[in-house]
Amino acid sequence: MSDDILGLAGKVALVTGGGAGIGRATVELFARAGMRVAVAEIDTARAAEVRGALAAAGSDALVVEADVRAEDDVRRLMAEVEGRFGRLDVLVNNVGDYLGYKKPFEQSTEQEWNELYAVNLLHMFRVTRAAIPLLRRAGGGSIVNVSTIEAFRGIPLTVVYAAFKAAITGFTQSLAVELGRDGIRVNAVAPETTNSAQIVATARVPPENRDHIARWFPIGRFGEGADTAGAVLFLASERLSGWVTGSTIPVDGGALAAGAWMRLADGGFTHLPIIVADGYTPRPEAR
């Protein structure tokens, strides 16, 4: 961006899981806003790809291969960020996954619970705790936690995943109160189903049902990484959201507001099921 209307030029942001999907879209948008960007990415190929893209764009960037679930990796990550930039202004806790566990709760295992905890909540605690001293030293900043719309409604077959995402809301609100006097704002974004490295939503809908996509969401489509990245950029900017903290922005095409209401082909609405499919579950015959 040619003029720094967001007040972000030269600021330093760290994005976890920044090699693909929402994280990658956020990294690229931050770079366009003139920010210096640090990326934590567990996948070697994705790390190399985002490193090359940022270098080609002339961005001042640091890409660290790290598993943010591991305490030693988090310490190393923060040391590299501090060594390279000497400060941190924005932290985006983007990592999260349901790990492919879709089953009734009674069939879930404690090992699965622990794995879901590590990738959806524990890493957020560890990275945030390690980042707070750098944010405080910079005179304040913004923490943005990526949650999901499933934190605000019931979802079957991924009960434990949803429970940890709901916990992000309490973490966000309480930390915002605790850190407010340090000038550190803490917020979250909650995307609905978004085309990403984890979920290619449109292709999973049976072709004969794809005309329903425009009816499932008031805005009429699945999300894209750029949709959530835009909300994150807003929360990163002190100029735009300097009096916003402890809040969660749904990035859901209006799905939460609509509840069970969907548009019919004739332009009317219904709150009753119109097709027998959830639209997201992989079907072997569709691969």
Inter-residue contact 238 to 244 (CB < 8 Å): no
CA atoms within 13 A on the CB side of 132: 14
Angle formed by the axes of helices 21-32 and 225-236, nearest 10°: 50
Torsion angle, alpha carbons of 35, 40, 41, 45, to 10:
60
Inter-residue contact 214 to 279 (CB < 8 Å): no
Residue 43, phi-psi category: left (phi > 0), alpha (psi -120 to 50), beta (remainder):
beta
User: Is 98 tagged catalytic?
Assistant: no
Quote the radius of gyration of the chain (alpha carbons, Å): 19
Distances (CA, A) of 6 to 11, 48, 204: 11, 29, 37
Inter-residue contact 81 to 18 (CB < 8 Å): no
Catalytic residue among 98, 101, 117, 161: 161
| Residue positions annotated with a catalytic role | 161
